[in-house]
Amino acid sequence: MRVLQIVPSISLIYGGPSQMVLGLSSALARQGVEVTILTTDSNGDTGQEPLDVPLNTPIEQDGYKIIYFRCVPFRRYKFSVDLLKWLNLHAATFNLAHIHALFSPVSSVAATICRRQNFPYILRPLGTLDPADLRKKRQLKQLYAAILERANLAGAAGIHFTSVQEAKVSERFGVSTRDLVIPLGVIPPQPPLKKEGTEVRQQFGIPVDVPLVLFMSRIDPKKGLNLLLPALQALLPEGLNFHFVLAGTNPQDPNYEEKIKSQIQTSPLRSHTTITGFVTGELKSALLQAADLFVLPSYYENFGIAVAEAMVSGTPVLISDQVHICQEVRDSESGWVGTTDVSDLTELLRIALQNPSERQRRGLCAKEYALKNYSWNAIALQTIEAYNQILSHLDVK
């Protein structure tokens, strides 16, 4: 089986949803699928240099091939004429395309090319069909959908949702297309560290006996920091001891990032908070394992890859019911689920921080569930089954 994975960018700047294409491709390759990723050298929208990568030539890595194309014109929208020309010429030499992102010009035109060639393709919307996301730039998106995305959705062999809840709430613009619910995968941390995470605590001056509350995600309005910060601050007069670690950045909206940092620095949280900026690699793994509680009270989240990463690290999670794996967290007792309300979040934080044995129990449940359900091998097998069903259906036709 020869499969194309098409994604506007895999730069770390754009976060986990784009990066997951690498994990999926590697896992598919281990199962014998021949994978080629088509992407651009885009590395941010506000002055960053493009990725320093060879262009227009296949690069072998982790069992698959990746081809980068120059992001021109419309850098802000991660567009590439060269990528689309390549696809138009070579699509027929593959069996299927898996296209990641909607309302992104390069993905939209790629889907249009596939549709016009009667070439089977799957669309992964990355949460862009969530009504909350569609409300942003609503009129523009309605026009965009009318011109391109409605026909692309109608012509797709399937829509790849990462949770049942994402599929349930998503807008389809009146078309009926097959749902494929396949979660995202995570890689268990290697090597395993001691749960107390003494080294990373020493690095940031956090005492071993103080609960570490971790937020690790893009610093974006949708992530619910306007709920989390007042909720944490409300616990300080009660004498509840904790240390909050804010790990993340937002190169695409530096003004909001600075607003959040300033809010912390001018509040009582200042002496209880460490701001790390963007973290990756060993430091990211160490923080996830050292944390006593991972928090993500998002207003909407089609999956929540950071939540799954915390779970596989053995850390209990506290999330809002708008993070679409909330039911899985509830059912597996992997943490706490609340509403997007400050008082509700405050109460759940209070419960979690006052009960270390319950945090430990839920952390073990989280790890067990994530290892079973969010391993890349398990995701690859589900994805291959979906690919085979699509291709066999086409053969029957």
pLDDT of 45 strictly over 80: no
| DSSP track, 345-358 | HHHHHHHHHH-HHH
The Cα-based distances of 212 to 73, 87, 309 in angstroms read 45, 47, 16
Rounded Cα distance, 182 and 186, in Å: 13
Q: According to CATH, what is the number of the domain 2-185+375-396?
A: 3.40.50.2000
| Rounded Cα distance, 269 and 60, in Å | 47
**pLDDT of 12:** 78
Confidence of residue 43 (pLDDT cuts 50, 70, 90): confident
pTM of the model: 0.86
- pLDDT of 307: 96
Q: From CA 216, how far away is CA 236, in angstroms rounded?
A: 21
Q: Among 181, 157, 155, which residue's Cα sits nearest to residue 167?
A: 181
Is 2-185+375-396's fold the same as 198-373's? yes
Spatial separation of the C-alpha atoms in residues 96 and 111, rounded to whole Å: 11
229 three-class SS: helix
CA distances from residue 190 to 49, 124, 194, 288 in whole angstroms, order as listed: 31, 29, 12, 12
Asked if the model's pLDDT at residue 25 lies above 60, the reply is yes
Domain ranges across the chain: 2-185+375-396, 198-373
For strand 59-61 and strand 64-69, is the pairing parallel, antiparallel, or unpaired?
antiparallel
* Tokens at 231, concatenated: 């909720």
Superfamily for domain range 198-373: Glycogen Phosphorylase B; (3.40.50.2000)
Q: Categorize the per-residue pLDDT at 191 as very low, low, confident or very high, splitting at 50, 70 and 90.
A: low
Mean pLDDT across the chain, nearest whole number?
Answer: 92
pLDDT tens string 110-146: 999 999 999 999 999 998 898 888 888 889 888 998 8
For position 292, what pLDDT does the model report?
97
The alpha carbon of residue 96 and the mean position of all alpha carbons in its chain are separated, in whole angstroms, by 23
* pLDDT (0 to 100) of residue 44: 75
